[in-house]
Amino acid sequence: MSSLNLDDFTDLIERPDGGVRRDAEARRERQIVPPGSLGWLDELGEWLAAAQSAVPVRPVERPRVVLFAGDHGVAELGVSARPAGGAAELVREVLEGGRPVSVLARRLGVPVRIVDMALDCDPGSLPEDVVRHRVRRGSGRIDVEDALTLEEAEAAFRAGVAVADEEADSGTDLVVLGDVSVGGTTVAGVLVAALCGVDASVVTGRGGLAIDDLAWMRKCAAIRDALRRARPVLGDQLRLLATVGGADFAAMTGFLLQSAVRKLPVVLDGVVTAACALVAQRVAFRAPDWWLAAHDSGEPGQAKALDRMALEPLLTHGVTVGEGAGGLLALPLVQAAAALAAELPEKPEQPEEPEEPEEPEQQKEQQEPGAFEAPAGQ
């Protein structure tokens, strides 16, 4: 029996400040560029102001990429273009600067933090920069067995909460959340299908490396088998993560919920983070107010999850690579919205026109229109 009560998050999470948002809207109406002329940037700036409880909005100066890493046993079925157990190699490539997220982070000056939750490798083989929160070596094959024990799911969830607290305490003002996994999009498909009540085929995508038709069919079958195991535990989100999730998924769910508690805005990257966000929404319905969807990756499961949470992606570039790359592409847009909301000048106040002095009552009567005076001598 778990000692973790997820219902507490419902009471702990508040919505971004509505009064501050109204103040930000009023300030926007006074600025020199007409409201609405900047499109979504107007709304984005107002959202940031509400999240920060600040008008004018503060610049986003200390963002960070946080990636949770893990291997998934379901990858053994050939559902991914990458070999099962290959996430550790991806982690090394990210930290060595050879992945898209590495290039973008370097260009934008954003630090990247990777958290090992369930990598299938010797911990000693990982770079020292990797944060160690591993609860097991690889998550179970969810089509035939649980991903985690309930105790492991709780430990992973608490690790995600701890990482969120560390980020908030260190002064991070926005997090780009992503994953480094093999088999992760299959797990995400199961969670989205289960929580949205749809069939496996509706959420099965091609993954980051565009698998072929045979691999897609294997993936769809794996999701369908795992769905049968997920449905009986839908009412218990922690048990759901233990049954058909994984250590990285449980950690990201805890991270998202605690970030909302700490009023730390989070940018969601792709289908994996969207699936975790959907689980978190089931825990606390106000939590999605603290998240932004970075982009539309083209994964059907992501589109389904974002639609359920009423989150509109900021970009539509079809970036499927994962690892936070899509989230980083959206970061300059968020920073631009903050700068425009804070730095655009307000329109000068128009001087009031002086009132015309009223004429004396006696003079008004003398000049009253329609008055007739007879000519003298008549």
Catalytic residues: 323
Residue whose entry in the numeric block shows the structure tokens 């307000």 = 346
For residue 65, give every residue at least 6 positions away whose Cβ sits within 8 Å of its Cβ, in sequence order, or none: 101, 105, 110, 111, 112, 113, 175, 176, 178, 324, 327, 328
What tokens does 65 get?
């990429």
**DSSP letter string, 99-134:** SHHHHHHHHHT--EEEEEEE-SS-GGGS-TTSEE--
Residue whose entry in the numeric block shows the structure tokens 């709304």 = 43
For residue 22, give every residue at least 6 positions away whose Cβ sits within 8 Å of its Cβ, in sequence order, or none: none
Please state at what angle helix 150-169 crosses helix 237-244, rounded to 10 degrees.
110
DSSP-assigned beta bridge partners for residue 145: none
Task: Report the amino acid identity of residue 237.
Answer: Q
Contact 148, 135 (CB under 8 A): yes
What tokens does 314 get?
């900021």
Contact 184, 192 (CB under 8 A): no
Hey, is 65 helix, strand or coil? strand
